[in-house]
Chain A
Amino acid sequence: MLTVALTGNPNTGKTSLFNMLTDSYEYVGNWAGVTIEKKVGTLKNKRGQLVDLPGIYSLSPLSRDEGVTTLYLLDESPSSLLNVVDASQLERNLHLTIQLLEYGRPVVVALNMIDVAEKRGLDIDVKKLSEQMGVPIMPVIARSGFGCDTLMQAAVKSSIDDESLVSPRHFDYGPVLEQAISTLEAKLPVSMASKRWLALQLLEGNIPVLQKLRQHVDPVWLQAFYVETEALVQKLPEGKKLPDYIRDKRAGIIDRWLQSAVRETKPLRTTLSERIDAIVLNKYLGIPIFLAFMYFTFKLTFDWIGTPVSDRLDALLNGVIRDGIASFLNTVGAASFLKAVILDGIVAGVGGVLVFVPQIFMLFLIISFIEDSGYMARIATVMDKLLEGVGLNGKAFIPMIIGFGCNVPGIMAARTIEQPKERLLTILLTPLMSCSARLSVYSLFVGTFFQSHQALIVLSLYVLGVVVALILAKLFSYTLAKEEESMFIVEMPPYRIPQWRTLSRSTWEKGKGFVRKAGTFIFGGSVVIWLMGYSGFHGWNVPMNESFLQAIGSVLSPVMEPLGFGNWQAGAALITGFLAKEVVVSTMGIIYAAPTEAGLEGAIAHFFTPLQAYSFMVFILLYVPCLATVGVIRNETKSAKWTWFSVGYALVIAYVISFIIYRGGLLLGFH
């Protein structure tokens, strides 16, 4: 089976190309670091597999996502490499290309975004460049699909043709380094592949390569060898550090390649991106624009589009559909138990959650817009100063924004953060970002208690999550992880007008998880919760107040009393809500036996005052990450201690803040 590996600098369109060349669909965006793990798909022509890898600038990894790519190249042997190169940034992209050529597998270069390069006034003679570099180069536009078929054929062809006669490319690094390379090569086992490449990578300071070589060569000798070579290189007239020296040599090679093949046809003038940045990165307007954008998001989600559509869906679901199911069950003469499971369990539980699909899709649409337009990197920049103050950097805001959709991908996005401490903090704090599942709980409560200020109340919860995260970041960075210098550097991609196709696709990809969860997890959960409410110590079909559910919920209620929601119903909803936050809505729907949202809103109005409802929402926002999030925290931190910590601190902080809000609110005369 052929395996073609996609490699290239961050944000050059590898995943867009992957989506074009395979039958699968993966997540794309316009910022560096969208892809953070290996993705495998089958080529459309069924000739082999395509592996999508996180973007890298060079093969020496700085961050966790880059490590994925380096380890892949070290441990696996792809049939060929498809190197995606941004035509408008050829020079810096080709540094990686050189390293890939040295690796020793056949390389095909996909020259992406040639349309952008042309607009920027770059005239690239592809044929000449290909001759210069000695590799096939295919111009493509991954976003539109231009050139993709030819590219696929070329990639497959190179994998088959050269299989037997593939040899690594040999670039000259000057006598001192060449001597060092041969010394190290001689030390390596004869059978080892790409020895020259390994030697060069080691000299560049590639840590995973160093670890691999230590298994074969005496570590003490390796260390001495490195120090000695470094000293020799520094004595050269250039006087450069070893990695810089290697980079300079490569820059020289690239210069020669480009000299004859690339012409700048017109002088650079102000681009559209610059004009947009003049506004959104304006000294005074930058932060207000971002806040206005967020407010606009909530207005769209709640007042303007999301909620009105949601209400209509609710009427449909609980009117026509529910009646339809009921009359169908009556016609077939279903047992009353079965009728109760379906109508009071499944329809109430699953329907209660599905009603919020419009709001959630609206939110995902806006997040997709941020990702695809190029605004993401700007937000990181605008937020950096604030985050630096609490021991993080602007890049940490990217996982947090993704976390507004769902915490799970948000936490994974923290992989692109270079400093381990900042990454850990981001992982621990991203769960405080209010995800779309929690949105369903707010929607229910604000619809009942805060009719006239829905968007504002929900925005206050989102802001609370962010503020708590910032304060805790400050606290944690003082106590947990210290003595590590913070850093921030981010590349700003040119703005792009998002294509509808990409936007709708990526909104759907994010939202479908929510719908699927409703059909599986929430479905099953609803049945179980309904059963627990239907049965009790005295047998089946007991009143809700004597059920197992009541017994479980009551355990919590005395503890929750000081927060204003000491009823067993809230307790039961909180326990089940650990599975997934939207289960809170399902549970309440089942408990209050109120299948329609209007009915449920009416029912909870009896059990909560507005202040208690707000306190409850705050608790839901903060109390524990859901089951899936805890799982991903465990995976990403590889530490049981930090996982428990993330659950523990959240519980404490939720309790304290809800307490302050409720008690403080009472003192101020709210109720």
Chain B
Amino acid sequence: MTLLETHWGSKVKVTNLESVQQLVRRRLGDLGVMEGSVISLRKAMPFGGPCTIEVKGQWIAIRRKDAGHIVVEALC
């Protein structure tokens, strides 16, 4: 599933970032979002605006379409 399909606030593990736009992926990596990182989806702006994600206490805002390209799996 993609990050957008997860429940708000529930922690999930990133499994694939391949289809995220290259520059965004680099920045995500800089901010500590890599394959294997545990992240959660937190908030969304109205009118399809950006959403915020949390990784290890760090909050990041990205566009919803990029969040839709982050493939994640539930934490077991």
Contact = CB atoms under 8 A, between A and B. Distances in A.
Given A57-B31, A62-B26, A247-B29, A488 B61 contact: yes
Interface stretch (A88-96, A156-164, A450-458, A498-506): A88-96
Contacts of B60: 489-492
A452 to B, nearest CB: 35
B62 interface: yes
Contacts of A286: 45-46
A385 interface: yes
A509 to B, nearest CB: 28
Contacts of B31: 57, 92, 489, 491
Interface in A259-293: 268, 273, 277-278, 281, 283-284, 286-287
Interface in B31-62: 31-32, 34-35, 43-50, 52, 56-62
B21 A487 contact: yes
B57 A381 contact: no
Interface in A349-395: 377, 380-382, 384-385, 388, 394
A57 B30 contact: yes
B58 A381 contact: no
A385 B49 contact: yes
Contacts of A419: 23
A247 B52 contact: no
A251 interface: yes
B7 interface: no
Contact of B49 (A58, A247, A284, A384): A384
A287 B27 CA distance: 26
B32 A91 contact: yes
B62 A488 contact: yes
Given A57-B31, A384-B49, A487-B21, A92 B63 contact: no
B4 interface: no
A244 interface: yes
Contacts of B66: 487, 489
A109 B59 CA distance: 24
A485 interface: yes
Contacts of A287: 46
B61 A492 contact: yes
Contacts of B44: 283
A418 interface: yes
Contact of B46 (A88, A247, A284): A284
A489 B61 contact: yes
Interface in A109-150: 120
A568 to B, nearest CB: 49
A248 interface: yes
B54 to A, nearest CB: 9
Given A92-B30, A247-B34, A384 B45 contact: yes
B1 interface: no
Contacts of A284: 46
Contacts of A57: 27, 30-31
Given A381-B61, A492-B59, A62 B45 contact: no
Nearest to A205: B26
Nearest to A389: B47
B45 A382 contact: yes
Contact of A381 (B32, B47, B48, B52): B52
A444 to B, nearest CB: 39
A58 B30 contact: yes
Contacts of B35: 244
B24 interface: yes
B45 A281 contact: yes
Contacts of A380: 61
Contacts of A385: 45-50
A278 B52 CA distance: 11
Contacts of B26: 62, 243
Contacts of A95: 30
B29 to A, nearest CB: 6
A487 B56 contact: no
A381 B34 contact: no
A122 to B, nearest CB: 9
A490 B52 CA distance: 9
B25 to A, nearest CB: 9
Contact of A89 (B32, B43, B46, B62): B32
A85 to B, nearest CB: 14
Nearest to B46: A283
Nearest to B29: A247
Contacts of B49: 381-382, 384-385
A92 B52 CA distance: 18
A13 to B, nearest CB: 15
A120 B54 CA distance: 14
A286 B43 CA distance: 11
B32 A92 contact: yes
Given A58-B30, A381-B49, 15 more contacts: A57-B30, A57-B31, A91-B32, A92-B31, A251-B34, A268-B57, A277-B43, A283-B43, A377-B61, A418-B23, A419-B23, A489-B24, A489-B31, A489-B62, A491-B31
20 contacts: A57-B30, A89-B32, A89-B58, A92-B32, A92-B56, A244-B34, A247-B34, A248-B34, A277-B59, A278-B43, A281-B52, A283-B46, A286-B45, A381-B49, A381-B52, A384-B50, A418-B27, A487-B63, A487-B66, A489-B60
Ordered nearest first, which 8 A-B pairs have the shortest CB separation? A57-B30, A385-B49, A492-B59, A92-B32, A381-B61, A489-B27, A384-B50, A489-B62
Interface of B: 21, 23-24, 26-32, 34-35, 43-50, 52, 56-63, 66
